[in-house]
Amino acid sequence: MRKLVVGMICAVMLSTAATVPAVGTVSLPKGYESWEKSRQKIVEDKKSLFHGVHYIYLDKKGMKAYKGGGDYPQGSRFVVVFHNLKVEAGKQVEGKKSMIVLMQRDSERKETGGWFFAGFGPEGKPSGIDPVKNCFDCHKKDAADRQFVISTYEDFARKN
Ligand code: HEC
């Protein structure tokens, strides 16, 4: 995922708080660390964009649709935090944070399936990637029948 992020500049940035475009004002939602959090997810395939350790967070608004189906209400937010994968004494452990991504329900964003997609560096600074090419195309391919949400609640909550 990092490779994709580096060097890509998105001309239009949107505020997460409003639907009015504003350059450079996109930011991560405050307090997302206290939302419901997925189990630890490890992707070992080095070729995968998701190589490493990640956790998905979902706010209360979106939880009903995630669990039981139905439309995601306007403003529902998912955040995914990625870490490098390290091996210590033969065990897989999470290393440094590598990047953070956001999906926020916004019906105005028709070109990206009614979601606002944004990528951030490990400190939460916007990375300025193109949300259509670098986010939506993949979500469209994998989850067009699930409102472009790829992960499932069963897998989010599964104990391993
Ligand atoms: C190559 C495919 C691919 C690309 C490109 C991609 N994603 Fe995803 N995304 C996934 C997969 C697969 C999951 C589910 C991960 C899981 O189940 O743990 C996911 C999950 C997510 C989630 C959690 C909600 C959900 O759909 O499960 C968010 C938020 C997200 N991605 C945002 C983004 C953003 C923002 C970008 C662009 C910077 C992006 N993604 C690019 C494949 C992709």
CATH number for the domain spanning 63: value is: 3.50.70.20
pLDDT band (50, 70, 90) for residue 158? confident
Ligand 1 centre from 90 Cα, in Å?
A: 28
**Per-residue pLDDT tens digits for 80-118:** 999 999 999 999 999 999 999 999 999 999 999 999 999
Question: What is the mean predicted confidence (pLDDT) over 120-147?
Answer: 93
CB-based contact 121:134 (threshold 8 Å) = no
Pick the residue whose CA is nearest to atom 12 on ligand 1: 150
Instruction: Give the chain's domain count.
Output: 1
CB under 6 Å to ligand 1: residues? Answer: 41, 49, 56, 78, 80, 101-103, 117-119, 129, 134-135, 138-139, 149-151, 155
Question: Residue 25 has what pLDDT?
Answer: 64
Q: For residue range 22-80, what is the model confidence (pLDDT) as tens digits?
A: 445 689 999 999 999 999 999 999 998 889 999 999 999 999 999 999 999 999 999 99
User: H/E/C letters for each residue in the chain?
Assistant: CHHHHCCCCCCCCECCCCCCECCCCCCCCCCHHHCEECCCEEECCCCCCCCEEEEEEECHHHHHHHHHCCCCCCCCEEEEEEEEEEEECCEEEEEEEEEEEEEEECCCCHHHCCEEEEEECCCCCECCCCHHHHHHHHHHHHHHHHCCCCCCHHHHHCCC
Check residue 13 and give its pLDDT: 37
Q: Please tell me the distance from the alpha carbon of residue 24 to that of residue 151, in angstroms, as a whole number.
A: 28
**pLDDT for the residue 21:** 43
Residue 131 CA: which ligand 1 atom is closest? 37
Q: Report pTM.
A: 0.86
Domain limits at 57?
Answer: 2-157
Residue 89 alpha carbon to ligand 1 centre in Å = 30
* Distance from the alpha carbon of residue 11 to the mean position of ligand 1, in angstroms: 21
Centre of ligand 1 to C-alpha 141, Å, is 11
* pLDDT of the residue at 11: 31
